[in-house]
Amino acid sequence: MTTRMLSGHHHTLGAHWDGEGVNFALFSAHAEAVELCLYDVTGQTETARYTLPEKTHEVWHGYLSGLDPGAVYGYRVYGPYNPQAGHRFNHHKLLLDPYARQLIGEFRWNDAHFGYRRDDPEEDLSFDTRDNAPFMPKCVVTAPSVFADDTRPKKPDVSWSQTVIYETHVRGFTLQHPDVPELARGKFAGLGHPKIIAYLKALGITSVELLPVQAFSDEHFVYEKGLRNYWGYNTSSFFAPHTAYLNENDAAEFRHMVDNFHQAGLEVLLDVVYNHTSESNRLGPTMSFRGIDNASYYRLQAENPRYYVNDTGCGNTLNVSHPRVLQLVMDSLRYWSSDMGVDGFRFDLAPVMGREPKGFNPRASFFQAIAQDPQLSRIKLIAEPWDIGPGGYQLGNFPAPWSEWNDDYRDTVRRFWRREPGQLPTLARRLHGSGDIFERSGRRPYASVNFITSHDGFTLRDLVSYQQRHNSANGENNNDGHRENLSENFGVEGPTDDAAIETARRRQQRNLLATLLVSQGTPMILAGDELGRSQQGNNNAYCQDNELNWIDWPSLGKHSEDLNAFVTLLLKLRADYRILSHPSYIHPPHRPESYDIKWLNSDGLEMREEHWQEHHSFLLGYLLTGPHDEQSRVTLLVIFNNSTQQQEFQLPDYQAESGESALCWRWLVDTIQERGIPERPSAASGEKLNIDERSVAILGCNKDIRFAQGTSND
């Protein structure tokens, strides 16, 4: 290796090997000098230190010939330590390269990470000279990507209208799976194992959404309680995969997992956190961005730059309005989409990405950058449409082609099934794909990502078993997590030996799942809900890296198998009856050959205005009809009965031709049954059915439905 650093170039940020050496480039507008520190292969011993010799357009850069992939490094950045002016440079702190594609070692908490002296009365106005390098992970130079090889499986390119999302966690999903090799459990290799992929394919989902896999660390307050950040929403590196999910500490392991999913026709979506970083507020650690250029990377309070804008609730907010920070996010997204093969992203606290000085703007620079990008504009983009900043709730306001987590859907369905009065009109809108929220801006039903549960909150099993949160294990005196869960425990809080309560809870899980999977829009299932997984009433299990979060595969019994079979049945139904996932909003037709949607009362006739005003009615028919020239699977009827007793429902009539059988209606799903498989014979047009209390009945007919009277509400 040469002992002299050459000037190199500023064009490509990060560390890039060209076959003869490595070019290093780091953006910092306000730094006075930048040192590159090289380490041995273990990352424990510093072997050399070089000053980057050039600064071009606010990018510090240098070139070392003879340096190869696998080289380990970090940065020390010199500049003013003046928090009141927004600057927090401290060259005593080893920093991660924001563009590092691989890390070695783990972040270990130590007071040396703080840029100030924690025992000083002036807090962050003081200056700490301890070296944090022994406790920091280090960056690793990687070889140029070889992932563009044409022999790799092509992306499945699942249409939005056919997408079914399965939200899961790399570690928790496989850590206790007996068919996954022990060394692969809890890793990318385990999630990409053939047994896991076969399970997901058999279930019927199309797209796996992974909780954060970009390198993250534990928050200090979590560490002090002896807990771990399990979910991963505390990102420290936007390019490097989380090292704990790697077997051989090779970033290519992630791409191999993605290739396995693609080979099976399944998509991989990533939950990404570009709204804040792991450096927290002014009293947080100095790990990367804060020490490289605090005033550029973060949004600071204009009246006092010592303090951070905290629209995220996590202590800081990334300054995506800055062109270099926007470039960082865009480069990161392109890397994961192209080099790593990812099919789409779900953006945590997404309003942050569009917030400008006057508030949220759907035409903010970030959204425009995405829209004009030939690669990113074609993949799946999902927003979590809320944060805690001013005007932070933005459901329905993201631009096309974005989709959004629809918490209004979640809450409406929960309210209906726990028998809150007056829910029928809103329930119909949510079943319709929330056109009242999304269609007004010209967007499609799949813009609504419908969900009953997610990683944040109760699992489905807990939703029907607990009235209150039980978060004491989190060490916050049960004060964290959502206070109101719109849940129902059926008379007993938590586990019970009462057979009647258990039966009611299992049926309610089926009711909720059935509602989700017959709704227009994009359904999302929380991993383990199809197995009845419980978190013992913890609705904020972000810090529980233990059996509370891990799926206990060895202990699954008959009820888990039954529920899994039920979800499989529903997903097959959704795939067979494409009218359930129509790519456009369905309205009463102007032409006979059009698709149609109708809302029915117990007489099998269209709901009238007075029916919608019956606040204590819990019976609704949902009828979908396809073009008349289709030969089969054109008409679907879903009957929701959340009454406390059996209700009579008259099936719609149709115009029978001479000699035609009247037994049009065939039972497809009945949530009374543990596996949803009906035990009822076909029914005749116009026949009156007894629909059991608190259940969902789904029937299909391939005839032309005729209505003699009634008006449509849609």
Structure-block tokens of residue 519: 């709704």
- Give the catalytic positions in this structure: 348, 384
CB burial readout 259-269, b (16+ within 10 A) else e:
bbbbeeebbbb
Name residues whose C-beta falls within 8 Å of residue 321's C-beta, 6 or more positions apart in sequence: 299, 356, 364, 365
Q: Is the dihedral of CA 244, 247, 251, 255 positive or negative?
A: negative
Q: What is the pLDDT of residue 702?
A: 74
Phi, psi of 58 (to 5 degrees): 70, 15
Instruction: Between 714 and 422, name the one with better pLDDT.
Output: 422
Question: What number is the average pLDDT over the span 109-123?
Answer: 96
Give the three-class secondary structure for 351: helix
Cα–Cα distance, 219 to 199 (Å, whole number):
34
pLDDT in tens, 456-504: 999 999 999 999 999 999 999 999 999 999 999 999 999 999 999 999 9
Burial class of 352 by CB neighbour count within 10 A (0 to 12, 13 to 18, 19+) = buried
Question: What number is the average pLDDT over the span 291-308?
Answer: 98
Q: What is the pLDDT of residue 588?
A: 80
Q: What is the CA radius of gyration of the chain?
A: 28
Q: What percent of the chain has pLDDT over 90?
A: 90
Overall pTM > 0.85:
yes
* pLDDT at 186 exceeding the cut of 50: yes
Q: Per-residue confidence at 626, pLDDT binned at 50, 70, 90?
A: confident
pLDDT in tens, 55-89: 999 999 999 999 999 999 999 999 999 999 999 99
pLDDT in tens, 326-337: 999 999 999 999
Strand partners, 210: 168, 270
Q: What is the pLDDT of residue 653?
A: 80
Q: What is the pLDDT of residue 521?
A: 98
pLDDT in tens, 665-701: 999 999 999 999 999 999 998 999 999 999 999 999 8
Q: What is the pLDDT of residue 701?
A: 87
Give the three-class secondary structure for 397: coil
CA dihedral 706, 708, 713, 714 (to 10 degrees): 30
**Mean per-residue pLDDT over the chain, rounded:** 94
Name residues whose C-beta falls within 8 Å of residue 80's C-beta, 6 or more positions apart in sequence: 30, 32, 87, 89
Contact 508, 694 (CB under 8 A): yes
Alpha carbon distances (Å) from 389 to 296, 351, 531: 20, 9, 36
Q: Which is nearest to 490 in space by CA: 469, 509, 476, 471? A: 509
Q: What is the pLDDT of residue 575?
A: 95
Alpha carbon distances (Å) from 354 to 152, 324, 366, 377, 437: 35, 16, 7, 16, 19
Q: What percent of the chain has pLDDT over 70?
A: 94
Strand 21-27 and strand 59-65: the pairing is antiparallel
Contact 316, 236 (CB under 8 A): no
Q: What is the pLDDT of residue 424?
A: 97
Instruction: Between 714 and 123, name the one with better pLDDT.
Output: 123
Q: Which is nearest to 162 in space by CA: 515, 596, 448, 582? A: 582
Question: What number is the average pLDDT over the span 217-229?
Answer: 97
CB atoms near residue 391 (< 10 Å): 13
Phi, psi of 301 (to 5 degrees): -70, 125
Is the link from the previous residue into 401 a cis peptide, with omega within 30 of 0? yes
Q: Which is nearest to 76 in space by CA: 50, 54, 94, 60? A: 94
Q: Which domains does the chain have, with CATH numbers?
A: 14-140 (2.60.40.10), 160-270+333-579 (3.20.20.80), 586-706 (2.60.40.1180)
Question: What number is the average pLDDT over the span 291-315?
Answer: 97
Contact 275, 348 (CB under 8 A): yes
Q: What is the pLDDT of residue 594?
A: 76
Cα–Cα distance, 34 to 291 (Å, whole number):
11
